[in-house]
Structure 1
Amino acid sequence: MDSVVQYILDRSHLEVTLIKITNATEESFVMSIESRATGTGPVPAKLAPMEVDLVFAGACFGKLKLPEVTTSPSGCDVNIYDQLIPVVDIVAFRAFVKSLMVDEKLSLTLDNGKCSITAFRFLKGNCIYKKDVHIKGMNGPATRIVKATAEENTVVVANPSPLHIDYRVSKFKVRDGKGETVAELKGPMIIQRGETEVTMAITRKTGVSVDGEGLRLVGVGTEDKAWTDDTLQFINVPIGLTDEFRSFYQPA
């Protein structure tokens, strides 16, 4: 029975539709995951709760408790909400966050789960749960300014990934092609799935031009003392500007 269970689990697929990261501290975060398991076999079965390692690029950065799950031939939902994750390897975790933000795709491995399965109420098996989860990354993310006033700017962040991450109050710079700062932005930054509008206060620099190419939005850090402060710096992307934004730099 154990070998059959292991074979079925190895052939199953886990599709993640939401990775929500909030409440960042220097050593932890709160995570919610929504996903669906398919290919778990023709017989309904019950998987007991278990704990798995969260592994990226061969390094474990935390542990996740998976709930009890009942499979079916058509698949089953595997959802975890508001679970506190202590970070056991901050370097590995930062690498995971960076890949989520800048890469087109990545893999997260759920590993070392001691899995117990029951089918037909009397057939039981044990195995080691290990599953590579393929995730679409944010690939940037792409950004553009859609509204500008003297005091505020509204930025649209386009996020094709399942990641939802709350950076809280964040600081950015808009830099020209030479690396010179033309504006500073500050405000709450929550990157959600799809397109998100974020409105931030703006401080413009004088004596600079925004007429050239190559302007970029660069993450500076957050007000919180947490791992978000330096991972925000992974954002360094081209930014689209409106004529309205440029008009504030034109001489009267």
Structure 2
Amino acid sequence: MTAMPRGRTRRTSLVTAIGALAATAAMVLSGCGGADDPDAGTNGVGKLPAARIQSKSRAAADAAPAVRLSGTVVTSGRTYELDMRLKTGGGTGSVTSQGATFKLLRVGRQLYLKADSDFWNHAGGHDGATGKLDGKYVKVPQGDPAYKKFSGFTDKAVLLDGLLTLHGALATDGHHDQSGTPTIRITGDKGAGGTLEVSLRGEPYPLRLERAGGAGTLRFSDWGRDFSVAEPAGSDTVDYGRQLPTS
């Protein structure tokens, strides 16, 4: 039997090796996520059914120790513009409604409200009380209607429980982007029941929510980023001692 020339053998081996590499690359691109796969390199939740995406997103939000929430909430016909930082032990931030802005601070169970004299005048302050309350952290008694009304804005568990719910049949609505972060969008009732953008990078945190019925749009950021809440200085605090003016 005639021996194959050595040069030809080397060329054959090289062709075989190149063919094997090409086949491997084709398998990787087709089976393991290539350039045309929007879920390539993500956390993988974009491939899940909408109900599972919502469940995982809610679990991630509940487990996160802190979050920043900003945007608008419409409730009982009134629009509130929020910029709040929330965690298990309290929360802090600002709320704007009907042209008036006030700050909220909750440390444990103690809630404080800080606003200017215009806010307190609008709220029905009298007997010279507005001057004492102007620019001060006012202790809100837990039995006061204002406590129930505003403490929810500072409570991570309560606020997220009331917000992160889509209504109607759930469905996915494509891959999107929020400030450079890839997301998967899920909808309730084809959007009429709200839409939620869920991060495809890292933990599947909620990043943007459009509430059903035009009840507001919210953005979520700084997931897990801790911050401090502390009792304000005594000189900056007023204990009203009775029910606050209606706000």
Normalised by the size of structure 2, how large is the TM-score? 0.26
Greater per-residue strand proportion: 1
> Relative contact order (C-alpha < 8 Å, sep 6+): which is higher?
2
Q: Which has the larger radius of gyration?
A: 2
